[in-house]
Amino acid sequence: MELKNPILAGFYPDPSICRVGGDFYMVTSSFSFFPGVPIFHSTDLAHWEQIGHVLNRPAQLPLDPMSISSGIFAPTIRHHNGTFYMITTNINHGGNFIVTAADPAGPWSDPHWISGAEGIDPSLFWDDDGKAYYTGTRGFGQTVPKIWCSEIDLERFELVGDKTDLWGGALIDCHAPEAPHLYKKEGWYYLMIAEGGTENNHAVTIARSKTVLGNYEGCPGNPILTHRHLDVNDPISNVGHGDLVELADGSWYMVMLASRIYGGYHKNMGRETFIAPVVWQNGWPHVSPETGKVEWSYPAPDLPETVPAPKPVRDDFEGDALGLDWNLLGTPVRSIYKLEGSRLKIRTVEAPICPPAGTIFERFSLDDRIDVLGFVGRRQQNMSYDVAVSLDFDPADKAESAGLILLQNNFQSVRIEKIRHNGRKILRAVQGYIDLEYTVEHNLGAGEYHQAVLGEIEWPSSQVILKIKAREQDLSFFAADESGQETPILEHLDGGFLGSETAGGFIGTYIGLFASGNGQDTGHFAEFDWFDYKGRD
């Protein structure tokens, strides 16, 4: 058996891992997608099965659908004295909070908000004397952010005593020291962080101290992991933001985020979860020691295998709940879909799936006037893939639309939509994009939103099978009838614009089903009978 990277394919950034006996659990960031913080289980580190979402109730997860790269930032998962703890930041709704559970599959508690906890990327550490410590990054977005630490009372979920700055990163004035985790090994406290920013200068660095609050001395070999020195088009890039786990036999592994780069410096799948072995030498960890960089595969550790059933290509939308692959965008403060008669029915809500052309976006592009979007989507997990979906929709007037969208963020997407235009029923391909006034340091997009109709065909029937064939960055869109006869709508679009390096933000591409009344909730439903996703790489 081998550990094959990525271990979580598609948009699964900022992984955090913990081990409880023979079981490993992992969580990742989820930003403005609902439910939030997917949680995975494994017994062998190679096969991971999603067992739920940590945040699956609206009361746990206030989110804005038009602020896709805000919401839930990097989570940490830990287990202590029979309780699971997940700590994270809701960047635009309340800050840092902890939820707990006896069973990692849930239910998880309501949020315990940590008053006075500044910044992002919180983590928890228990010392041998039973005291618990909170670490985070403060000064985020300023010139000299710092990793800070405070004791925390986990009965009352309150910080205790002073906040101490522990470390500012390995490089002088380093960019974005973040993602701190504390570990204790052989009498040393190790503080592992990420720095350099979550693009191709990303890195993992480490410092250690004899006492928990410092003084921390940096590892002379820092960074202990980076691909920043490699070609930016290296097929594995942006390596950083890791968490360590010790196996029962005393061996160690690191999970970290990295991106698969293809068709130029494009990372359409955003930041994914990778793994590498770690050995300790002379008191410091060495990651992937044979080559010093993250590889596509490693021999698996000697652990009992648990191989999940292969995922079916087709979702028939049977049952009364969506599968764990599916997400909404923003908190469902009112219902936007129903599962009925083995169909997913999405309501023609008032918000357009993409903003009107001419909208000006800044920073995280907040638009809190929009409460819900008629969007149900899943991650792109392969460089090449085929998608097909059966849509039954008869647009009642010229405002309604429904279809299939590749969505990188609120203002970077391409969609095929069924609309009624001048009395004709048509299927058209529309690209949404923003002028690239792209702020590299802060990962934020700003500019004017545009839309371009790139293809159009007449389609009188309410029934259609919409298809996407993605061959790396070469994207083609088709309509098919029940006999399978395909008609192209748009062929050979360069998909490179669906990468977050041009779009800004933290997201990987989603494949979404949508419906809208474009200005008013018309109370109709676009009906999706089945959905196929087939990875080809």
Whichever of 148 and 506 has its CB closer to ligand 6LW, that residue is 506
Show Cβ contacts of residue 312 under 8 Å, excluding neighbours closer than 6 positions.
none
Among residues 208, 234, 215, 238, the alpha carbon closest in space to that of 225 is found at 238
Token look-up 């960089």 returns 293
Tell me 321's DSSP state: S
Cβ neighbourhood burial of 305 (10 Å; 0-12, 13-18, 19+) = exposed
> What's the closest the beta carbon of residue 145 comes to ligand 6LW, in angstroms?
11
Tell me 58's DSSP state: G
> What's the closest the beta carbon of residue 69 comes to ligand 6LW, in angstroms?
8
> Is 178 marked active-site?
yes
> What's the closest the beta carbon of residue 292 comes to ligand 6LW, in angstroms?
20
Phi/psi of residue 204, nearest 5 degrees: -110, 130
Phi/psi of residue 6, nearest 5 degrees: -75, 145
Token look-up 């410590």 returns 133
> What's the closest the beta carbon of residue 534 comes to ligand 6LW, in angstroms?
29
Question: In sequence order, what E strands does 327-442 have?
Answer: 328-329, 337-340, 343-347, 360-361, 375-379, 385-392, 401-409, 412-421, 424-434
Token look-up 């049952």 returns 319
> What's the closest the beta carbon of residue 59 comes to ligand 6LW, in angstroms?
23
Whichever of 89 and 431 has its CB closer to ligand 6LW, that residue is 89
> What's the closest the beta carbon of residue 224 comes to ligand 6LW, in angstroms?
16
Show Cβ contacts of residue 462 under 8 Å, excluding neighbours closer than 6 positions.
392, 393, 394
Q: What is the SS3 assignment for 495?
A: helix
Whichever of 13 and 517 has its CB closer to ligand 6LW, that residue is 13
Whichever of 257 and 383 has its CB closer to ligand 6LW, that residue is 257
Whichever of 183 and 364 has its CB closer to ligand 6LW, that residue is 364
> What's the closest the beta carbon of residue 287 comes to ligand 6LW, in angstroms?
16
What is the contact surface with ligand 6LW in residues (CB under 6 A)?
13-14, 29, 73-74, 120-121, 178-179, 194, 198, 240-241, 257, 506
Whichever of 14 and 151 has its CB closer to ligand 6LW, that residue is 14
Round to whole Å and give the CA distance between 256 and 258.
Answer: 7
Round to whole Å and give the CA distance between 508 and 186.
Answer: 39
State the Cα torsion 360-366-370-373 to the nearest 10°.
Answer: 90
> Is 501 marked active-site?
no
Q: Which helix (H) or strand (E) holds 501?
A: helix 500-503
Q: Is residue 187 within 8 Å of residue 432, measured between CB atoms? A: no
> What's the closest the beta carbon of residue 193 comes to ligand 6LW, in angstroms?
9
Phi/psi of residue 285, nearest 5 degrees: -80, 140
In the beta sheet, which residues pair with residue 36? 55
Dihedral sign from CA coordinates of 441, 222, 123, 132:
negative
Cis peptide before 62 (omega within 30 of 0): no
Q: Which helix (H) or strand (E) holds 502?
A: helix 500-503
Sequence letter at residue 411: F
Whichever of 131 and 293 has its CB closer to ligand 6LW, that residue is 293
Whichever of 91 and 407 has its CB closer to ligand 6LW, that residue is 91
> What's the closest the beta carbon of residue 101 comes to ligand 6LW, in angstroms?
22
Active-site choice (14, 64, 199, 417): 14
Whichever of 445 and 517 has its CB closer to ligand 6LW, that residue is 445
Question: In sequence order, what E strands does 459-485 have?
Answer: 463-471, 474-480
Whichever of 123 and 476 has its CB closer to ligand 6LW, that residue is 123
Among residues 398, 325, 336, the alpha carbon closest in space to that of 373 is found at 336
Active-site choice (44, 64, 151, 178): 178
Residue with CB nearest ligand 6LW?
198
Q: Is residue 253 within 8 Å of residue 45, measured between CB atoms? A: yes
> What's the closest the beta carbon of residue 198 comes to ligand 6LW, in angstroms?
3
Q: Is residue 237 within 8 Å of residue 473, measured between CB atoms? A: no
- Any idea which residues carry the catalytic annotation? 14, 178
